[in-house]
Chain A
Amino acid sequence: MSGHDHDHHDHHHHHDHDHSELSETELRVRALESILTEKGYVDPSSLDLLIELYEKKIGPRNGIRVVAKAWSDPAYRARLLKDATAAIAELDYSGRQGEHMVVVENTPDQHNMVVCTLCSCYPHPVLGLPPVWYKSAPYRSRAVADPRGVLRDFGVALPEATKIRVWDSTAEIRYLVLPMRPEGTDGWSEEQLAELVTRDSMIGTGLAKQPGEAS
């Protein structure tokens, strides 16, 4: 917002930020935190805790548990598709940016993809904070108009006949994709199945891994 920022941006309409500009932002954030702390508006220990929550506790491993359980427990899958918020809360995941959950299931006939064209809405309790690409202009602009092109960017090609359904998260409903369970996994435990679930498969920009791909 400073004059310097504007001068800089007027010459470079892109997202590459050079080192000196990054440092300027870093200094600005540091100064702001000290102002807000000195004024008694924030407690730095609370900031540390918030960061720790989102770096260590709230992430895609939560959604992976949800999907693996849905794959191995038909009754849970049914509850998840009927009332996702309640079924996800059974695994103790709830709260900010996941208050109203809907799970959409991929089938051989329909592939689902989730986007927020207006900002960055994303189901935090099950997926954590969104990756940079999810918040980026290329994804937000193209997901609703050319999802097959977006899938190609991720190295995914779907059969031509598969219907593609894109969910634009324009309100406070948050969507999680239930990917298709890979073939050749009969009798696998929930823990084994969890190895096949990726974050992108729960956004719809990827598919679950095949048994041979599991690392």
Chain B
Amino acid sequence: MDGAHDMGGVKGFGPVVPEANEPVFHGEWERRAFALTVAMARPGGWNIDMSRFARENRPPDDYLSKSYFQIWLAGLETLMIERGLVTREEIEAGQVLAPPKPGIKPVAPDEVTPAIRRGGPTERPAPAPALFKDGEIVRMKDIHPTTHTRLPLYVRGHLGTIEMNHGCHVFPDLNALGQGENPQWLYTVRFDGPELWGAGTDPTLSVSVDAWESYLERA
């Protein structure tokens, strides 16, 4: 989805302002919003691509005016409402108004550390040989999916060089829609600065993205 989250190259946001001795969380509500989001994923039954889409699929002014963990909170609410785990009325009222969805099991304390240490590897067996080889020039497709994608706007239509092959990985565009993992080859594709940003760009700059095979076409 072409949205406000896709920020590469957008002008006018001003300088980067680091915070000295920054804490991990700013305030208790950020701690709880983070932990709730992580702890609800398994009982809620959504995957990482669904949660990314729930965060980014909102009007640009809404996305840009919320702080990072406010976006997480809004994404969590969306995911739970969509699945009937809570109702919008319950969230607005701040209290339980409907019985729980049956069969939901919370993450138990003794499951927390093992689950975080295991993570969620996305590499899968290859369904077919890779189409592209290291060093090959490719063009990023100029496509504009209306649903989740990990193909940033700023590289679409541009020529890059295949630099690494990372194996086959879960394809987020379909995984976000609940249409299965559909693993595809994943490549690091490198672009020269001037190819992305035009003449006059710092010639020492190169940028890469990690791109699934279906984002690429032969140059």
Contacts and interface: CB of A to CB of B under 8 A. Distances in A.
Nearest to A29: B29
A58 B113 CA distance: 11
B206 A165 contact: yes
B179 interface: no
A41 B90 CA distance: 15
A98 interface: yes
A31 interface: yes
Contacts of A49: 109, 112-113
A22 B106 contact: no
Interface secondary structure of B, over-half rule: mixed
Given A138-B13, A138-B17, A160-B204, A171 B166 contact: yes
A209 interface: no
A55 to B, nearest CB: 5
Contacts of A71: none
A59 interface: yes
A141 B122 contact: no
Interface stretch (A75-83, A113-121, A185-193): A113-121
A140 B13 CA distance: 10
A37 to B, nearest CB: 9
B32 A29 contact: yes
A169 B202 CA distance: 21
Interface in A116-139: 117-120, 128-129, 131-133, 135-139
B70 interface: yes
B198 to A, nearest CB: 10
B108 to A, nearest CB: 6
A1 B74 contact: yes
A166 B90 CA distance: 44
B104 A41 contact: yes
Given A96-B116, A164-B205, A141 B52 contact: no
Given A29-B73, A141-B10, A173 B107 contact: no
Contact of B119 (A96, A162, A173): A96
B17 A164 contact: no
Nearest to B100: A39
B22 A171 contact: no
Given A49-B112, A51-B31, A168-B208, A100 B121 contact: yes
A27 to B, nearest CB: 7
Rank and list the top 3 A-B pairs by shortest CB-CB distance, nearest first: A31-B94, A171-B210, A117-B8
Interface of B: 5-11, 13-19, 22, 24-29, 31-36, 38-40, 43-44, 52, 55-56, 61-62, 64-68, 70, 73-74, 76-77, 85-86, 90-92, 94-96, 100-101, 104, 106-109, 111-113, 115-123, 150-152, 154, 164, 166, 169-170, 172, 186, 188, 190, 196-197, 202, 204-212
Interface of A: 1-2, 6, 9-10, 12-15, 17, 22, 25-36, 38-43, 45-51, 53-55, 58-59, 94-100, 102, 117-120, 128-129, 131-133, 135-142, 144-148, 150, 153-154, 160-173, 200, 205
Given A34-B94, A95-B119, 12 more contacts: A9-B61, A9-B66, A13-B65, A27-B94, A36-B40, A45-B109, A54-B24, A153-B16, A153-B18, A165-B190, A171-B150, A171-B212
